[in-house]
Amino acid sequence: MSKTPIRVAVTGAAGQISYSLLFRIASGAMFGPDQPVVLQLIEVPFEKAMKALEGVAMELDDCAFPLLKGMVLTDDPKVGFKDANWSLLVGAKPRGPGMERADLLKDNGKIFTAQGKIIDEVAADNARVAVVGNPANTNCMIAASQAKRLTADRFTAMVRLDQNRAQAQLAKKAGVDLTEVANIFIYGNHSPTMFPAFKHATIGGKPAVEVIGDKDWLRGPFCETVGKRGAAIIAARGLSSAASAANALVDHVRDLMTPGKIHSVAVKSEGRYGFDANVWAGMPVKTTTPGSYEVIEGYDMCDFAKSKLAATNQELVEERAAVADML
């Protein structure tokens, strides 16, 4: 007997990231090769966006994906999030020229306040939320703050792109296959302040610090390359990361649905690793049952790591203060 479809709501469904993401979900990359899905695609109420969304839906039809059991196209979040098992919050207002970060936080805050409330009202009982739209950690905190029914652990933000970037950079530097690199986790904000904690990473089962043998590179160019990779891609491509972001979201959700997986996720810190208790910060988690996880605690931090964690925490605390009236 075939499984009940998973309902996946996606905001920003006519945007760049979704143009890579939706086809991967429908092909089975996110929930597995025998798991049917229904895509609930949400866009802004403008003709141009809804027309573009229709085009994307036509292409999804034209792929004849056996697992895609239905699509909902809507500009009404109450329809889009109805009974959703997963809500992928990709859509957000981009930072315009000359726009202050505080204004961006506030404008996006309004979007995520509304969406958090509606998801809490209409999504499925087992609802899970993954936030990609920037500033992702703070948007996730805002959405979670609106929920009365769904607990805070249901709301996660994506730092997996940063983890994947860090893994690739370590493999390149060591001249080994990517699969040799393990246990590289991202702490803090999805922004240039985030910290890829290289001390605990391994390459071929040995400490990455020993294999690489260049602490200055790890502390300097490595952290900087990972932190500023998004800007480097914009400079090269003229557009922000899209396919790699979609791929990271596939990894984020798939690993949260796969018991035993250990990976970086931004979650409510509850004071772990010295973060302010109420911010959403990247840290290592282990998936326990599909959709649930426990934070892996106890990785020791040297003074350098502590100073990096303090800086990224400071940024998260400032972002929280900028939207305090919305929480």
Angle at 315 between CA 313 and CA 321, to 5 degrees: 105
First and final CA of the chain: distance in angstroms? Answer: 44
Using the minimum distance from each CB to ligand NAX, give the nearer residue, 93 or 219. Answer: 93
Measured from the CB atom, is 91 or 196 closer to ligand NAX? Answer: 91
Among residues 190, 200, 252, 263, the one annotated as catalytic is 190
Residue 190 annotated in active site: yes
- Please report where in the chains the tokens 């999030």 appear, as a residue: 81
Output the CA torsion 7→42→247→198 (10° steps).
-100
Nearest residue to ligand NAX by CB is 15
Q: Is 167 in the site for ligand NAX (CB under 6 A)?
A: no
By beta-carbon proximity to ligand NAX, the closer residue of 102 and 302 is: 102
Residue span binding ligand NAX (CB under 6 A) among the ranges 32-40, 89-97, 209-217, 280-288: 89-97
State the number of binding residues for ligand NAX (CB under 6 A): 28
Least distance from ligand NAX to the Cβ atom of residue 273, Å: 20
From the list 6, 9, 17, 265, which residue makes contact with ligand NAX (rule: CB under 6 A)?
17
User: According to CB under 6 A, which residues from 263 to 302 bind ligand NAX?
Assistant: none
Contact window for ligand NAX (CB under 6 A) among 43-51, 63-71, 192-200, 284-292: 43-51
Residue 215: count of CB within 10 angstroms of its CB: 13
The DSSP letter of residue 221 is I
Encoded one letter per residue, x for contact with ligand NAX by CB under 6 A and - for no contact, window 168-197 reads: ----------------------x-------
C-alpha triplet 312, 266, 283: angle, nearest 5°:
70
3-state secondary structure of 11: strand
- Angle between the N-to-C axes of helices 47-62 and 16-27, in degrees from 0 to 180, rounded to the nearest 10: 30
State yes or no: residue 209 binds ligand NAX (CB under 6 A). Answer: no
Q: How many CA atoms lie within 13 A of 241 on its CB side?
A: 19
Omega before residue 284 within 30° of 0, cis: no
CA separation for the pair 154, 284 (Å, rounded): 16
Smallest Cα–Cα separation from 280: which of 196, 201, 191?
A: 191
User: Counting contacts by CB under 6 A, is residue 313 touching ligand NAX?
Assistant: no
Residue placing its CB nearer to ligand NAX in the complex, 36 or 196: 196
Positions marked active-site: 190
Site of interaction with ligand NAX (CB under 6 A)? 11-12, 14-17, 42-44, 49, 90-94, 111, 132-134, 136, 158, 161, 190, 230, 240-242, 245
